[in-house]
Amino acid sequence: MKFLVIILTFITINGYSQGYKSQLEAHRKQYKADFLTDKNSPLKEADLQNLHFYDADSTYRINAEVEILPSEPSFMIPTFNGARQEYVRYARVKFILNGKPLHLTIYSNTLLAKRPGFADYLFMPFTDPTNDNETYGGGRYLDLKTTDIKNGHLEIDFNKAYNPYCAYSAGYQCPMPPAENDLEVKVQAGEKQYTGEKKH
């Protein structure tokens, strides 16, 4: 009986891993396709071969504790081209990654939030020790929604971390991750460095 339980557990875990890998592959396929339909995209079809990703790793799909930050004042986040964008700190998340307790801040873009259909959009930029080496030096982004937060918790999937357009081309207003979102552990998940020539 014990042996049977072990086998069934292995089959369940293996099936879950394969299912998650397939989901992530579909997500990345759509991610690439979006570059070809976005009129402001810096990449063409020939450039997509220069996009690279870490292998799917479910250990980077974590459950975080959420603290909503009500009545936060707005502030300006600098962009890589010298402009600034207005944001509000929406929430702070706490989680364990690679055995270390960490925290990140989630932001809401005040201008975007006023547009119909975008009020629930949230933004979580971050930096980590892989930057300038394995990943883009300016950090990476994760997109979230207020509806993703359930009962004070949020699933964060770093496998879906992606590069800002500034990783591929100059001329874009990409927000710089605030210092409070600099992680001390490597996030070896999500999108890697772009290996094509940066456009100007």
Residue 16 is predicted with a pLDDT of: 53
Nearest alpha-carbon partner for 58 in 160, 143, 159: 159
Residue 200 is predicted with a pLDDT of: 83
Q: Strand pairing of 100-109 and 84-97?
A: antiparallel
CA-based max dimension of the chain: 65
Domain extent listing, the chain: 53-181
User: Token match 């879950």: residue?
Assistant: 16
Q: Give tens-digit pLDDT for 96-141.
A: 999 999 999 999 999 999 999 899 999 999 999 999 999 999 999 9
Split at pLDDT 50, 70, 90, the class of 1 is low
- Pull the structure tokens for residue 96: 């364990």
- Res 6 pLDDT > 50: no
CA distance 167 to 59: 26
What's the mean per-residue pLDDT of the chain?
A: 92
Residue 10 is predicted with a pLDDT of: 45
For residues 104-131, one letter each, b for 16 or more C-beta atoms within 10 angstroms of the residue's C-beta and e for the rest, the string is bbbbbbeeebeeeeeeeebbbbbbbebb
**Residue 60 · residue 91 · CB < 8 Å:** no
Q: What is the pTM of this model?
A: 0.89
For residues 169-198, one letter each, b for 16 or more C-beta atoms within 10 angstroms of the residue's C-beta and e for the rest, the string is beebebbbbbeebebeeebbbbbbbbebee
CA distance 156 to 59: 11
Q: Which of 10-19, 88-97, 119-128, 150-159 has the lowest mean pLDDT?
A: 10-19
Nearest alpha-carbon partner for 28 in 63, 52, 58, 3: 52
Residue 187 is predicted with a pLDDT of: 98
**Residue 159 · residue 60 · CB < 8 Å:** yes
The stretch 65-75 carries a mean pLDDT of 96
Higher pLDDT, 4 or 191: 191
The stretch 5-28 carries a mean pLDDT of 68
**Residue 85 · residue 77 · CB < 8 Å:** yes
Q: Give tens-digit pLDDT for 19-54.
A: 899 999 999 999 999 999 999 999 999 999 999 999
